[in-house]
């Protein structure tokens, strides 16, 4: 009986101690590489989409005057592979413009498009939007905005070939409303590539921005009081 009671105690005494973990530099590097490999990977050069088939269209959509640099990118691959230093050598200035272009390149890689990015049928930079009506119940009719081939009506296109378009809605019975949507005769709307459609608008600084606002407004009040005293004959 004593031997049975002593055996668990001896097992605890002679249990091998866990040595402090020491990770070699190579193993740490492998861990970092494994962490990086776990990150979602996006294609270095994404494929063009119907609404953005070339370099000039991409630069036109994101705005901020980048369209003027279209001739500096000979190919679609060059647009997405040139580094910030190479863009500077090409004359893409100022630095905030380069950062803006790099940011939009990454968005495009991730599939984060602006308005019209989900279009399928685009002809010469323009797409046609139509209204698809479906019956949810005998008393409820739903209306959706879909993209159809140019010159086609909803009745002429099979449901599998239609593409639902986000960012637009039906107002009333036959009116499609949404950014840059131009109404078509006979119903529907037309969406065409326009400069700055995807542009991130910069904020407008008032009185020099947050850092200098108080100083500028104080000096303005001093100048106004001085002008008032001079107008009243006090110097």
What is the per-residue pLDDT across 37-64, written as a single tens digit (0 to 9) for each?
A: 555 677 799 999 999 999 999 999 999 9
pLDDT for 52: 97
pLDDT for 208: 67
CA distances from 80 to 75, 101, 104 (A): 9, 10, 10
pLDDT for 9: 45
pLDDT for 226: 80
pTM: 0.69
Question: Would you list the DSSP string of 148-193?
Answer: E-TT--GGGS-GGG-EE-TT-EEETTTEEESTTEEE-TTS-EEEE-
pLDDT for 223: 83
Using 70 as the pLDDT threshold, list the residues of the chain that sit under it: 1-40, 203-211, 235
pLDDT for 43: 76
């Amino acid at each position: 009986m004593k031997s049975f009671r002593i055996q668990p105690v001896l097992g605890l005494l002679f249990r091998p101690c866990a040595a402090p973990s020491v990770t070699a530099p190579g193993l740490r590097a492998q861990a970092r590489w494994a962490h990086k490999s776990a990150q979602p990977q996006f294609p270095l050069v994404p494929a063009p989409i119907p609404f953005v088939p070339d370099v000039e269209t991409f630069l036109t959509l994101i705005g901020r005057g980048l369209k003027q640099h279209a001739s500096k990118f000979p190919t679609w691959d060059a647009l997405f592979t040139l580094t910030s230093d190479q863009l500077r050598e090409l004359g893409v200035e100022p630095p905030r413009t380069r950062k803006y272009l790099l940011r939009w390149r990454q968005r495009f890689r991730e599939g984060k498009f602006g308005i019209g990015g989900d279009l399928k049928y685009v002809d010469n930079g323009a797409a046609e939007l139509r209204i698809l009506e479906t019956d949810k119940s005998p008393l409820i009719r739903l209306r959706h905005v879909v993209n159809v081939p140019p010159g086609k009506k909803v009745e002429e296109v099979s449901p599998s070939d239609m593409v639902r378009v986000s960012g637009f809605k039906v107002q009333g019975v036959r009116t499609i409303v949404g950014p840059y949507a131009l109404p078509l005769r006979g119903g529907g709307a037309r969406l065409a590539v326009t400069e700055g459609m995807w542009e991130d608008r910069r904020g407008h600084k008032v009185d020099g921005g947050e850092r200098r606002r108080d100083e500028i407004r104080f000096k303005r009040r001093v100048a106004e009081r001085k002008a008032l005293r001079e107008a009243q004959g006090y110097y």
